[in-house]
Amino acid sequence: MKSTTSFPYSTAELRKQRKQRANGVTATAGEVDNLSSSVQTLDLNSDSTSMAISSSLGQLDTLSWYVRCLHHDRRWFPLTKDNTYAIADCDPDGQLKRGFQLVQGKAFESASGERHVMYLCSCDDAREQNDRLSATANVLAGEDLGTFAVREEGLYCLHARAAERIIPPLMTEQEEEEANENGVVEQLQTDPFLAAVHDGKTYGILKRRDCGKLCCVSCSSRQMSCTHVAKYKEWCEDRGVDSNNVFADSSEANFESVSKSPVPYPWTKEMREQFGRYESHTDNFPLNLVPDLPAEGCEHGHDWDPRDPVTQQWTQHVGVCIYTRYANITYYPAPDGQRLPRVVYYRPTVGDCGCRHHYDGAADLLHNIDNRKMIYYGLLVDYLHSMVEGRQPLRTTQRVCNRTRATCGPLNEFQEVHWETFRQGWNTWARRLDIDWKKIFTCDHCGPEPSTIICDGTAIGFRKDFLEHQPSPAATEDLPVVTGSRHSERVFIDCAKSRRLLLRYSGKVSSGKSSGKSEISAAEMKDLQDKLDRCGRSDVTTVLRRLEEEGHTTRAPSTYSSFLKQLAMSTPVSGMTQIAWDDVAQRIVKRVAEGKVDLTDSSCHKYLGHLQKRAPVLADFVCSVTVAGRIPSDVSPVLLSLMAVLHETFEAVEVPASFPDPTPESPHSSFFPAYSLVCGLPRFAMNEARKRKETDSCRKESYGHPSLTPGLFTLFCPHGVCFGFEVMRSCESPQHPFEIIRTRFKTAPRTIVYDNSCQLHRYVMNRDPHFFKKTQFLVDRFHWKGHVGCSLGYCMDSYSASVDIRTINSQVNEQANSGLARMKSQLSYMKPPNFMFHASLFLAVRNMDARRKTPDH
């Protein structure tokens, strides 16, 4: 739980104090006491506390000021490799500078297994210590670990001392991921240019000198030609970009080609047959590349000349080069053994407008780039599938082609595939692919209004500075304010102290195991009952008194333990029993509570079966406490109260009259071809009232990249079909799925599976509970183990009796996103249009595979 204690002084006040100190002005005794007392109340380990403050006569020392600035301006973040962190540099007074220093956490162990993390900085002051500790073995021999740590920490530079305070201990113990291209280059800032580059051994920080030349500030020699600079230039070359402009706001390349007609994907029968003839060498590319005769005229209304371009010698170019995977074909093998140059022709109009109809090449599986160079479809579709299946960069494919030519081709006849040609060819051909985007991003089995959605975010984004060019949302002052439900109205016990005592009495600690402090004293039992009476939960008090009389004074019996734990949570009743929409399930609960159902009667088993599918928490409890076909009489009021709270949760909230019309969306920030915006969002009272981020018992920790957007948020159906994605402008949170679903779906899905569903449910209840009244929120199976404080109502495995839920592949989104994330190194520094296209293309191909595997497609 994060501390909510706020820092006692604003940034301006702190600067004023530092200025006073520089002028010899000391603080008053009252100021000293104020700051000192505030320091004692701060949680130094919390994220919301900006720093660990130390005071000397009321003023912050340099380290404390430096740490506070790092937190306040968010100028430190983890890099991908080697447990390394980039931390903004500072001046002697602790004021942040534009540059960065690299600090690496290195763990040292004693012979007995004790472990201590040391921080190695790249600055000049720490260079000697960095070199020495880098060369020191991780396991110390012949020296006490404590003595070693004290000595070396006493030599820390200011950056290492700051890192020791701000880097969470657990982050220094994360295992290194499998080696990949991610993290080779990480942009720190755009203006002025700064980037962290990993050369395979260490990180280096690159900047540009006034002359524009790259310079490594981490290396002591050969700063303009070190391995970090070389690696950065290689990284740029692999992506076909100028190393002088990769992080500049330059315009996107203009991808144009002569070929314009759509390319069917998957291929037609005729294309497959032609492909087979080429690959079996029973057919050659034509000698004369002649354009077809279009039925429609030119843009000036003139018909195209029907005569034969070869006979008329309407020659466009002689000596066409065709690029294939294994050769550049520049001639046609004539029957008499001659090598004839290929000729491409054009077709004029019958008028005098001068228009020309050029050779498209689709019938011959050739992509015409500029009438001089053409690329065989086979090579282009090979790369498409390598990108999807092997996450292979375009540059790698080009290198593979050239290496194969150099190694296996005819001696003294090596002809390379030029990078610019291949890049231009791919980007123009890929945009010709005739994909029915709306159909491919829809699941025929789920239909236009899917009942189940599995959603998640993936950390693949583009440069943040490109977001500045996105349209800003319109002013919202004139929009209506919509109020959601209140926390006190939707939880069963509206008293935190009562819930804590009841949780301990249940015998269930946070991990769900009967261990630790899991019982209460007799005095605490009396206090618990008093508190429950005061907060209006005398029905629970009655049950506790009976249990106490039965000898369960300090700890609940096993038959009540799990249910009491559910009541003791801050989870809303609509989360513990997600049956607000199910009138049948609610009637069953009421009939059981009223004693109108004999649970031993086999004819009533269907009622319990239905309840087991819809509300397993209640069904399990009812079965465990049933005696002679009836539940205890004092339990009945508790069940009826649960149904009353569930009903009142929605009845107490006014249904919004209407939502505003949608605002025009940018194609560079979202892609939902089958789910256009159906409405906008009003002003929510919760958003208006919130002054700081809520502290959540379950939350996704996010450490954002300094220069890239946080990633994409994707929506999938259970059959593996992606409905689309949105670029996240802020770190992943329940806001993203809420806004996507609320603005793009006319009806909320019946089931949402999300790794943070507990907080998504809370988020929607605070804003628009009626729209999601029939929605069941579930945490996917893989992430459930981390939700130790959540109700079993969110656990998928609790619904084992429900075939619809039991058969959901809750990891379908994670599995697809893992493939998309491997393309991060290729996509991250593209401009938004190119980024969105390639991400869409990757998901489209994956969707085609998913649709083929589903019988109904």
- What is the reported pLDDT for 173? 40
Stretch 47-71: mean pLDDT: 59
Does residue 407 surpass a pLDDT of 60? Answer: yes
Residue 386 · residue 392 · CB < 8 Å: yes
Residue 72 · residue 10 · CB < 8 Å: no
For 585, the 3-state DSSP assignment is helix
Stretch 772-788: mean pLDDT: 90
Does residue 17 surpass a pLDDT of 80? Answer: no
68-72, 533-537, 556-560: least confidently modelled range: 68-72
Does residue 427 surpass a pLDDT of 70? Answer: yes
Q: 546 or 220, which is more confident?
A: 546
211-215, 272-276, 676-680, 734-738: least confidently modelled range: 211-215
Domain boundaries, the chain: 76-173, 185-238, 263-434, 440-471+656-694+708-853, 487-651
Does residue 190 surpass a pLDDT of 80? Answer: no
Kindly state the percentage of the chain with pLDDT values over 90: 48
141-145, 305-309, 553-557, 754-758: least confidently modelled range: 141-145
- What is the reported pLDDT for 35? 37
- What is the reported pLDDT for 168? 66
Does residue 513 surpass a pLDDT of 60? Answer: no
pLDDT tens for 693-705 read 444 445 454 455 6
Beta bridge partners of 96: 90
Does residue 781 surpass a pLDDT of 50? Answer: yes
Does residue 766 surpass a pLDDT of 90? Answer: yes
What average pLDDT does the chain have? Answer: 83
- The token pair at 273 is 């047959």
Does residue 778 surpass a pLDDT of 90? Answer: yes
Does residue 396 surpass a pLDDT of 80? Answer: yes
Q: Counting Cβ atoms within 10 Å, is residue 519 exposed (0-12), middle (13-18) or buried (19+)?
A: middle
Stretch 825-838: mean pLDDT: 85
429-443, 542-556, 805-819: least confidently modelled range: 805-819
- What is the reported pLDDT for 239? 61
Does residue 487 surpass a pLDDT of 90? Answer: no
The whole-angstrom separation of Cα 502 and Cα 537 is 12
Name the phi and psi angles at 798, rounded to 5. -70, -20
- What is the reported pLDDT for 60? 58
Q: What is the 3-state secondary structure (H, E, C) of 84-139?
A: EEEEEEECCCCCEEEEEEEEEEEEEECCCCCEEEEEEECCHHHHHHHHHHHCCCCE
Choose the most confident range, by mean pLDDT, from 19-33, 267-281, 510-524.
267-281
Beta bridge partners of 107: 117
Residue 839 · residue 474 · CB < 8 Å: no
What predicted TM-score, i.e. pTM, was given to this entire model? Answer: 0.73
**Angle 218-224-225 (CA atoms, 0-180°, nearest 5)?**
100
Residue 659 · residue 681 · CB < 8 Å: yes
pLDDT tens for 735-764 read 999 999 999 999 999 999 999 999 999 999
Greatest extent of the chain over all pairs of C-alpha atoms, in Å: 109
Q: Counting Cβ atoms within 10 Å, is residue 342 exposed (0-12), middle (13-18) or buried (19+)?
A: buried
- What is the reported pLDDT for 83? 81
Name the phi and psi angles at 442, rounded to 5. -130, 140
Does residue 250 surpass a pLDDT of 50? Answer: no
- What is the reported pLDDT for 585? 94
- What is the reported pLDDT for 768? 94
- The token pair at 518 is 């899991």
Can you list the pairs that 176-182 forms with residues at least 24 positions away whose Cβ atoms lie under 8 Å?
176/81, 176/82, 176/83, 177/80, 180/822, 180/825, 181/825, 182/80, 182/824, 182/825
Q: Where are the beta strands (DSSP E) in 294-409?
A: 315-318, 321-323, 328-329, 332-333, 339-340, 343-348, 356-358, 366-368, 373-376
Does residue 53 surpass a pLDDT of 60? Answer: no
Q: pLDDT grade, residue 463 (50/70/90)? A: confident
Q: pLDDT grade, residue 377 (50/70/90)? A: very high
300-309, 383-392, 637-646: least confidently modelled range: 383-392
Q: Are strands 366-368 and 373-376 parallel, antiparallel or unpaired?
A: antiparallel
Answer positive or negative: Cα dihedral of 731, 795, 764, 699.
Answer: negative
Q: Counting Cβ atoms within 10 Å, is residue 248 exposed (0-12), middle (13-18) or buried (19+)?
A: exposed
pLDDT tens for 709-736 read 888 999 999 999 999 999 998 888 999 9
- The token pair at 447 is 């239909």
Does residue 335 surpass a pLDDT of 60? Answer: yes
Does residue 824 surpass a pLDDT of 50? Answer: yes
- What is the reported pLDDT for 55? 37
Q: 391 or 447, which is more confident?
A: 447
Does residue 289 surpass a pLDDT of 80? Answer: yes
- What is the reported pLDDT for 5? 34
